[in-house]
Structure 1
């Protein structure tokens, strides 16, 4: 969530506006080095090189299930 907020804030700062019509074009161009890794978007507005790590708890321990890219 932190990286998502910071990415939006970067776009708003670049656009000098919190109005979606003004900052959305800047959001498409954002390249932000986040806590979870680099954040950038492709021509379709999808996150580049995104991944999602799925975890579960077994026997009281956090266990990684899968990394989806």
Structure 2
């Protein structure tokens, strides 16, 4: 798979993760923490996980871009 295709796929992945994070945030806001503490905690964990994955994906994208610019 070529680097440009990987970059395109990582961009699509980033957009999908952003949507998933928004959904988790909306769910967390709709479910009062006092009534459903486990659900609220799970939403927070999902958001933290997605943020970590987005950070790692951004690092991968940057590495691929540098490699592309270097002619690799």
TM bucket by the smaller chain?
0.3 to 0.5
Higher helix share: 2
Higher strand share: 1
TM-score by length of 1: 0.35
TM-score by length of 2: 0.34
